[in-house]
Amino acid sequence: MTSEFAAGPHARWLESETDRLIRFARGAWLPAGGFGLLDDDGGVAAVPTVDLLITCRMTHVQSVAHLLGRPAGGRLADHGVAALRSLFADREHGGWFGQVDLTSGRATNDRKEAYVHAFVLLAASSAVWAGRPGADELLADAIEVVERRFWDEREGRMRESWDAAFTADEPYRGANSNMHSVEAFLAAADATGDAVWRERALRIADWLINTVARGNDWRIVEHYHADGSLDLDYNRADPAHQYRPYGATIGHSLEWSRLLLHLRSALGDGAPAWLLEASRALFDQAVASGWAVDGADGFVYTTDWSGTPVVRSRLHWVVAEAIGAAAALARATGERRYADLYARYWDYAGLHLLDLQRGSWFHELDELNRPAAAVWSGKPDIYHALQATLVPRLPLHPSLTAAVAAGLLDSVATPAFHS
C-alpha cells in the first residue's frame, strides 16, 4: 500500500502533461491579434472572428507558462495583453467586446457580459504576476469596469450583462458568471493585496451555495430572474446549451467544491465553517448524480432537479474539475477516499480523454465514451485541463498563478495513486 500522499512519479507525469497541453496551445496565436479557437489538430478553427473568452483564457495560460519557465510563454502572454488593451477594448463606453471580426476589427458581439469580463480580470491578474508589459494597466481597467458596471454591492453578486453602452442590463442573473467571478476575485485579491475581493467572493458563495444550493439538496441552481428569484425552467427547450444549460450542471458543482476550498484557505482563521461542509456536500452530490449513472463511466453534463440525466454527453472540463476538486478535498481533509477518487478520474481521463495522437484532450465524448461534438466542436482551449495538472501540485492558497509565481509548485504532496 502506498502512502496517503506521495510526490515523485505522479508529479513528474503531471508536469509532462502540463507541457503537452502548453505545446498544443501555441497554435492558437493569431497574427491579427488575440487567440483563436483550436481545432482537433491544434490549428486555428476556420472562423472569421476572434473570441474574447478564448483570448483571456490563453493569456492566463501563457502567463502561467512563462512563470513555469516555458519558452515563448511570456511573448504569447504579451500578445494576449495587447489584444485585450486594443482589439477588444471599447474605447467609447468601456469594457470589452465579446467577439471581433478579424478583417474589419469591428465588434460582431458588442454585448458586455460578466462571464467574460471575469476572465479579463483573471487574465490581467495572471499577467501581472508574470510581469508582462501593460498588465498593471489592464488590471486597473478591469477592476474599474467590474466595480462600476457588474458588481452589485447591495445584492452581493454580479449583474449578468449589458448592452454595448451600459444603458440596459439583462433581466437575468447566472451562477456561471458569478462562479468565475469568485475565481477572478481570488486572483485579483492576490494581485492587488486588496482583501475586499475575498469578501466579495464570500458574499457570492454565501448566496449561491450556502443559501440556494443548501436548500436545493446541494444542487446548484444556475439561472435566476433579475431579482434573484429562481428560474428552474430556464432553457428547458435548449438543454445542451454551452453556457446556460437547463437543470443542474454537474461540472459546476465540482468546480464550486474546489473554489470554496480556495476561498476557505484564503480567508484563513476568518473562514466560516460552512465552506468545508458545502465543498464536501457539493462534491458528493455531483458524484452521486453524475458519475456513471447511465451505465458507463464518466460524468453526464446535466441532470434535472430530481437527479435524472438530461444531457448525457461527457465533457472534458467536468472531469478536469472533478480531478481538481478531489485533489483539493484530499488536501483539505487528508481523507483517503478523495485521493482514491482523484486517481479514478485521472484513470478515466487517461483512457478516454487524452488524445495522445493529435494533442490536448477530446473536449466531448458521447454516452459510450466515443469522441463527439454535440455540445462542443474541436479543442478550443486548454484552460480547464491545464489547471487540472497544476492544482494537485499547489497549496490551496494563494491562487494558482500567484502560487506558481511564489515558487510553491510541489511544495505540497500530490495525491497518490493507491495500489
Catalytic center residues? 252, 384
Closest CA to 32 of 82, 77, 66: 82
Q: Are 192 and 136 spatial neighbours (Cβ–Cβ below 8 Å)? A: no
Closest CA to 53 of 415, 398, 402, 380: 380
The phi, psi pair for 68, rounded to 5°, reads -80, 0
Cell readout for 108 is 460582431
Q: Which position has the grid cell 464550486?
A: 256
398 preceded by cis ω (within 30°)? yes
Residue 342 to residue 162: CA distance in whole angstroms = 39
Residue 327 to residue 388: CA distance in whole angstroms = 9
Handedness of CA 109, 112, 116, 120 (dihedral sign): positive
Residues 6+ apart with CB under 8 A from 354: 17, 361
Strand order across the beta sheet in which 248-249 lies: 248-249, 302-303, 309-311
Residue 362 to residue 377: CA distance in whole angstroms = 9
Cell readout for 222 is 444556475
Q: What is the DSSP string of 257-269?
A: HHHHHHHHHHHGG
154, containing H or E segment: none
User: What number of other Cβ atoms are within 10 A of residue 333's Cβ?
Assistant: 15
Residue 378 to residue 355: CA distance in whole angstroms = 12
Q: Which position has the grid cell 471599447?
A: 90
DSSP code at position 372: -
